[in-house]
Chain A
């Protein structure tokens, strides 16, 4: 920039000399063109994953159903075992699941409500963190509640096969993650 300003100043001073001004104009145009080429090359190499020799592979880790990033980080001891090779970046899913719990057997069977307080079976809200999902089941109701609700029935182990809702949110959310925290060499999906 400094050189360009200096050249512009020189150009103004030599305005009465036609030949010199043409020469300097050409010089400036060429210089600007080279500068632009250099700039775009720098940009493209920094945006392209793996264009520069990576020290570690950056992997974006996506947790499973009824999990969250911090839980996944704790259970997956991959980072320790792959130390020096990878850098794992854990991301939270965009969908929060409702706080539903499954009552214990005795609570389901007990007809006398007064003799058994259902409160004693409630999971603690203090120790529990929100559970998230990439997608949610179509019958998923009551999002983002912080008080626990009793499940109507047993959890269906094949529920994942019907999960479709909220699909449009996930890819666009991940695009934002890529642009903010990327580039990533790879992605890791669990379940």
Chain B
């Protein structure tokens, strides 16, 4: 859903925000979105190697990240499972992304 909000041309709603954080994300089977076509600063946080997140596979979240423009997306891969990691070094990387908008 957050991805579709970033790709607003496909939604008939006018919602304004500056960045998106997508944790263990996956693309919905609803919309055909071209690779590197979403121009919204994004932080992608997902499980690293297969098996680290048993709900959403690494490959699935990686595919989602590939829909965003390269130069405005940041990827954090972690080994903490299906959660948002809050320990070092991940939390510092999250802070680093957010600092750009402060």
| A contact residues vs B (CB 8 Å cutoff) | 48-50, 54, 57, 59-60, 62, 64, 75-78, 80-82, 85-86, 134-135, 157, 160-164, 167, 170-172, 174-175, 178, 182-191
Contact = CB atoms under 8 A, between A and B. Distances in A.
A171 B13 contact: yes
Interface string B59-99: 00000000000000000000000111010000100110011
A186 B20 contact: yes
A59 B30 CA distance: 25
A162 B18 contact: no
A49 B16 contact: yes
B20 A187 contact: yes
Nearest to A48: B16
Given A160-B26, A174-B13, A189 B20 contact: yes
10 contacts: A85-B99, A164-B29, A164-B30, A171-B1, A171-B12, A172-B13, A174-B13, A182-B16, A184-B17, A190-B24
A92 B2 CA distance: 14
A60 to B, nearest CB: 8
Interface in B14-56: 14-26, 28-30, 54-56
B55 A157 contact: yes
A135 B3 CA distance: 14
A122 B13 CA distance: 41
Nearest to A72: B84
Closest CB pairs A-B (n = 5): A189-B2, A188-B21, A186-B19, A175-B13, A134-B1
Contact of A85 (B15, B18, B98): B98
A188 B2 contact: yes
Nearest to A77: B86
B98 A86 contact: yes
A50 B34 CA distance: 29
A134 to B, nearest CB: 5
Contacts of A59: 21
Given A82-B98, A186-B101, A191-B56, A135 B16 contact: no
Contacts of A62: 1-2
Given A50-B101, A77-B86, A162 B29 contact: yes
A185 B55 contact: no
Contact of B25 (A50, A78, A191): A191
A105 B11 CA distance: 44
A171 B4 contact: yes
Contacts of B25: 189, 191
Contacts of B98: 57, 82, 85-86
